[in-house]
Structure 1
Amino acid sequence: MIQKARPALLPPQDVGDTVETLMVYPVVKAFLCGSVSGTCSALLFQPLDLLKTRLQTLQPVDQGSRRDGMLAVLLKVVRTESLWGLWKGMSPSIVRCVPGVGIYFSTLYSSKQYFLRGHPPTALESVLLGVGSRSVAGVCVLPITVVKTRFESGRYSYGSILAALRSIYRSEGRRGLFSGLTATLLRDAPFSGIYLMFYSQTKRTVLRGFPCSVSDPSDSAFTPAVHFGCGIFAGILASLVTQPADVIKTHMQLSPMRYQWTGQAAAAIFKDYGLGGFFQGWVPRTLRRTLMAAMAWTIYEEMMAKMGLKS
């Protein structure tokens, strides 16, 4: 009796390599989609980030003056540093965003695939995914974030990003490169967790309410507008909650020798500026973070859909 030949089985190591390749390839796509989306939004909204930093670092003597508003600061920058002065800090912003947003989205994508196994995240799962992904990205790019903040403040005159990193390392050591780490995590991790929770839940609710004539809401021409609108809503809420941590982070990165830990910086800000000091620059920051996150997620989701991947 002739037996049919059985198909040859791959050695265990080959099976592992194949699975690993299949997992890594989508993660690389997610990284590229995230990097492109982060770069586009960073280029557009850098002026808002610069205005936020300038407003947060106004001297206490200027507080209460009608000249410390966002429009006044914008006009002052244009008058003293030209229109292109609004894009000061653009190079470190791009250097930070390209890998930073890419790391965030690729970590988020791989975490979803590993932990959720394809089912939609609950509100708590969205918070945990956002917190974990942003923490990883935030730690990886923090030295560039420190350089970016100092470029935007106008208080430091570094020749280049590399020169800034060398100067900070020589004068302040590794601690200087990671100044404001705790405050940054207290800002970014909750922001991403809250943002992802509201974004995911709102998007699901809105898409579920599409007319019955739309067989697949995810393929609708209105989907980008839905993504952007949900991103705006989620961004406003997340920005307001995390604004105090952003102010503390800015002060610690600009004056690392004065502030040795987060509580010390918070106490000094309260003493010099009062409770309102923790919300300095909230308007440009809310505009920037909200629009930037909404645009980044819209571009990311559209690119992932074009590549045949579910975000």
Structure 2
Amino acid sequence: MSNIGSNPLIHFAAGATSATIACVSCQPMDLIKTRLQQSKQTKDAEKYSSVAQAARTIIQEDGITGLWRGSTSNVMRVVPGAGLYFLMLQMANRRYRARTGHAMTPLHALLTGSFARAATAVIANPAAVAKSRMESVGVWEYKNGRSAVIDVLKTSYTRGAMIQVLGDVIYSGISFAMVNTTSPFAQKKASPTSQFIVSAVAGAVGTAAAYPLDVVRTRVALSKAQGKDAGIVAVVREMLEEEGIAPLYRGVEFVALRRAITTAVTWSSYRAITAAVGRARR
């Protein structure tokens, strides 16, 4: 992970900063993903039937800055969650190496990544729900991300929490296991490009595995669009009965690409920040 020591604040700050950079730069792709996943839940869903159509509609109705709608709630979700996530990974890696004398095995990395993300997902869930609401169309109208988060805390703290945790566990377990297992090869080449590629592939694979759960989570978070208060089982049943299995994978290629870029930017930024801090502390 890093050789700058065990100062928890450094790893927390590096993780939070790197994830913030990634989420802001990739927010337009995240917004389009949410609009695609809404599908038939709103009367304007036909405007978001494809990536190109969704992007065109957003720009026409809200201008180019509309592509960054939901950025505030996204950052509020990312900062504490990513900071804690990278801190937990660093601590687990350091303790494992001290106890065994070698890096984590793929299985240990899978379990570590899953546990770390599960813990942070519970904390970040209100902001995740708020982000989905801010990015939705024709459902909720909030002045800003802060007001959205406050409303969720008051009314729907646990909405989508279980599915959020499960999806994050699958994604993070797989992606961290791949990054942690293959990173020695990337680092041996001393090539930031190879590190970027490794992280991107890990993000894409993890996303493909967890994508159906992400679709369900978004539908649950947006269930009030039709005056419902549906749970996971009800949302899945309705989706399968009315639309079939297709919505569970609609837009998966685009989302896998988005997550690949986000994961690569996050890990590359984290390594760059910790390396810079390490040089400054010498």
Q: TM-score range by the shorter chain?
A: 0.7 to 0.9
1:155-211 per-residue CA deviation (whole Å, 9 max, x = no partner) reads 2111233422343455x3xxx12210111111111100000112222333455xxxx
Structure 1 alignment gaps of length 5 or more: 1-21, 208-216
Aligned to 2:203: 235
**Of the two, which has the highest radius of gyration?**
1
Instruction: Work out the number of aligned pairs and report it.
Output: 271
Q: Which runs of 4+ in 1 moved over 4 A?
A: none
TM-score with structure 1 setting the length: 0.80
How has the CA–CA distance of structure 1 residues 275 and 103 changed in structure 2, closer, same or farther, with 3 Å as cutoff?
A: same
| Aligned equivalent of 1:108, options 86, 89, 106 | 89
Structure 2 alignment gaps of length 5 or more: none
**3-state SS, counterpart of residue 102 of structure 2:** coil
Alpha-carbon distance in 1 for matches of 2:114, 2:153: 28
For the Cα contact (< 8 Å) 1:51–1:284, is it kept in 2? no
**2:144 aligned with 1:160, yes or no?**
yes
> Partner letter of residue 219 of structure 2?
H
Aligned to 1:204: 184
Aligned to 1:17: none
> Partner letter of residue 31 of structure 1?
F
Aligned to 1:275: 245
TM-score with structure 2 setting the length: 0.88
> Partner letter of residue 287 of structure 1?
L
For the Cα contact (< 8 Å) 1:46–1:87, is it kept in 2? yes
Equivalent residue runs for 1:151-230 within 5 Å: 151-154=134-137, 155-170=139-154, 172=155, 176-207=156-187, 217=188, 220=190, 222=191, 224-230=192-198
Deviates more, 1:31-40 or 1:277-286: 277-286
For the Cα contact (< 8 Å) 2:118–2:166, is it kept in 1? no
For the Cα contact (< 8 Å) 1:48–1:287, is it kept in 2? no
**2:120 aligned with 1:137, yes or no?**
yes
Alpha-carbon distance in 2 for matches of 1:231, 1:107: 19
Alpha-carbon distance in 1 for matches of 2:97, 2:229: 41
**3-state SS, counterpart of residue 131 of structure 2:** helix
Alpha-carbon distance in 2 for matches of 1:289, 1:200: 17
How has the CA–CA distance of structure 1 residues 144 and 169 changed in structure 2, closer, same or farther, with 3 Å as cutoff?
A: closer
Aligned to 2:67: 86
How has the CA–CA distance of structure 1 residues 162 and 39 changed in structure 2, closer, same or farther, with 3 Å as cutoff?
A: closer
1:115-156 per-residue CA deviation (whole Å, 9 max, x = no partner) reads 342621111011011101111111111111111110001221
**3-state SS, counterpart of residue 159 of structure 1:** coil
Aligned to 2:266: 296
What's the % identity of the aligned pairs? 25
Deviates more, 1:82-91 or 1:107-116: 107-116
How has the CA–CA distance of structure 1 residues 166 and 306 changed in structure 2, closer, same or farther, with 3 Å as cutoff?
A: closer
How has the CA–CA distance of structure 1 residues 201 and 57 changed in structure 2, closer, same or farther, with 3 Å as cutoff?
A: same
RMSD value, Cα: 2.6
Shift of residue 261, structure 1, vs aligned partner: 3.1
1:55-102 per-residue CA deviation (whole Å, 9 max, x = no partner) reads 00021799xx79711001100110111111110001111111122211
Alpha-carbon distance in 2 for matches of 1:168, 1:276: 29
How has the CA–CA distance of structure 1 residues 70 and 149 changed in structure 2, closer, same or farther, with 3 Å as cutoff?
A: same
